[in-house]
Amino acid sequence: MSHQSTHPHHTWVQSHHPVHLETKSPPHKEPMFYYFAYGSCMCPVDLKRSLGENTHPYIIGPGVLKGYRLGFYLYLPSRKCGVLDIVKDPKASVKGVLYQLPLRLSEYLDQREGVSQNLYRHESVEIHSHSRVYQDVRTYVVVNKSEEEVAPNDWYFNVVLRGAVTCGLPEEYCWHLFNHMHKLQQRHQEQKFRRSA
């Protein structure tokens, strides 16, 4: 992706050294679970911040969740912005990153997603990746969804895009993500302007 955003706050350039993705699950001796990330956790660097270890070795590759669509239906006070959620929609699909994580990291992932605060809950889904269907994959959905989408801030915007680009999601989907988030930010700015006028 050689495009660069004209948006003043976002630099988005295709990595010349994308992360090496496994074409099948790497052999692990300890108990593991599958995890599908569609938001900021697509970025293994950001995920490492929460889980406390390098997550690159646990990436299986890009994945597709059918029958859902993306939306920003949660305002997260800790990030001071809207964050991603998925909503059932038979006509849509969500692209993201499929991980196979050690079970010992499950608790840290739940903490990151605010499960004990009732922000997100587990949802078991099917993920299509590398011409294979993975069953019983954990993902997270917002428990109490807002009526309207809430704009992400610049930091969240960039982390989501960096994860999508670095882990090899299709260019068209990355641009769809960019446009969706950019439109939400524009709407937020217009609402602020009207309130202050």
Whether residue 106 is annotated as binding a ligand: the answer is: no
Distances (CA, A) of 166 to 6, 27, 170, 174, 182: 20, 23, 11, 11, 20
Q: Cβ of 73: how many Cβ atoms within 10 Å?
A: 20
Please tell me whether 39 is known to bind a ligand: yes
123 labelled catalytic: no
Which of 22, 30, 107, 113 is catalytic? The answer is 113
The reply to whether 156 sits in an annotated binding site is yes
DSSP letter, residue 116: T
Q: What is the CA radius of gyration of the chain?
A: 17
35 is annotated as contributing to ligand binding: yes
120 labeled binding residue: no
DSSP state of 72: E
Binding site annotation covers 173? no
**What's the CA gap between 195 and 40, in Å, rounded?**
30
Binding residue ranges for substrate: 35-40, 156
Binding residue ranges: 35-40, 156
Active site residues per annotation: 113
